[in-house]
Structure 1
Amino acid sequence: MERNVATVIEKRNFSRVDFKKEVEIHVSGRKYSGFIENLSLKGAYIKTPHKLQAGDQVEIVIHLAGDDDFDIYLQGKTVRLTEDGAGILFEKLDLGSFSHLRNIIAYNYGDDDAVMEEFFNYHKGES
């Protein structure tokens, strides 16, 4: 992973980092390409030429390396639309994908403890 492609851009309920990576977007049985612009433990902004609709249920695949063991699989829905992309709220991910996602965000944010605290606070209802 290249550290120079990611910077912290905003503090919301979850630390959001600028992370540039090509992704697959699966919607209604079709596969489209897109490009992550930023990422958090709970969502991402993805640029894509395909016009997503509000509330679309999507599956996102982030290929981190040439090995499928490093892929991140996320299920979510579109919650914000722009002219060239969509904000995706993650609703489901497996433990391995969560671990890879957490590592990406903690590494690029620079504070593993803060990222985990945000996650635990969210699940305790404090966020």
Structure 2
Amino acid sequence: MNERRQFSRILFSNQAQLRCQEVVWQTTLLDISLNGALVVTPAQFAPETRQLQLSFTLSDSDILVQMETQLVHQKDNQLGLACRHIDVESISHLRRLVELNVGDPALLHRELALFIDMHSPEK
């Protein structure tokens, strides 16, 4: 299988919420990257659109990370979410989380540059 992944994924089991308009589902975050996440499909999951807001609190803190996502795949009771937008505070916390788990500063800088390029307004 040809690996197309451009961002390092880190295993990160944590409680999270998915929101679609006014509907909120509780879920479990399985892994996270600078550009998306993998979560458990919530019970009675039936969004009206593929645009979902993912939010979770970092363990042992009150730091909330939020990102606007696009549902890109649903398979084996898991949802693959791609980041569409993330605020500066959330990306700062997420960057630190990835940095602590990747252990390679050069890789992190390369992924940050790619993330910025992919999410710049002129794209």
**Residue 49 of structure 1, CA deviation:** 2.6
Structure 2, unaligned stretches of length 5 or more?
119-123
Q: How many residues align?
A: 115
Query: Per the alignment, do residues 54 and 118 of structure 1 end up closer, same or farther by CA in structure 2, a change over 3 Å counting?
Result: farther
* 8 Å contact from structure 2 (residues 20, 49) kept in 1: no
Deviates more, 1:78-87 or 1:10-19: 10-19
* 8 Å contact from structure 2 (residues 54, 67) kept in 1: yes
Partner of 2:93: 100
**Residue 31 of structure 1, CA deviation:** 0.9
What is the correspondence of 1:7-86 to structure 2 with a 5 Å cutoff?
12-50=5-43, 51-52=45-46, 56-65=50-59, 68=62, 70-86=63-79
* 8 Å contact from structure 1 (residues 52, 78) kept in 2: no
**Residue 22 of structure 1, CA deviation:** 0.7
**Residue 111 of structure 1, CA deviation:** 1.7
Q: Using structure 1 for the length normalisation, give the TM-score.
A: 0.78
**Residue 77 of structure 1, CA deviation:** 1.1
**Residue 99 of structure 1, CA deviation:** 0.5
**Residue 118 of structure 1, CA deviation:** 1.7
Task: State the AA in 2 paired with 1:103.
Answer: R
**Residue 121 of structure 1, CA deviation:** 3.4
Q: Using structure 2 for the length normalisation, give the TM-score.
A: 0.80
**Residue 52 of structure 1, CA deviation:** 4.7
Flag as ranges the 4+ runs of structure 1 deviating above 6 A. none
Deviates more, 1:93-102 or 1:57-66: 57-66
Query: Per the alignment, do residues 113 and 55 of structure 1 end up closer, same or farther by CA in structure 2, a change over 3 Å counting?
Result: farther
Task: State the AA in 1 paired with 2:55.
Answer: V
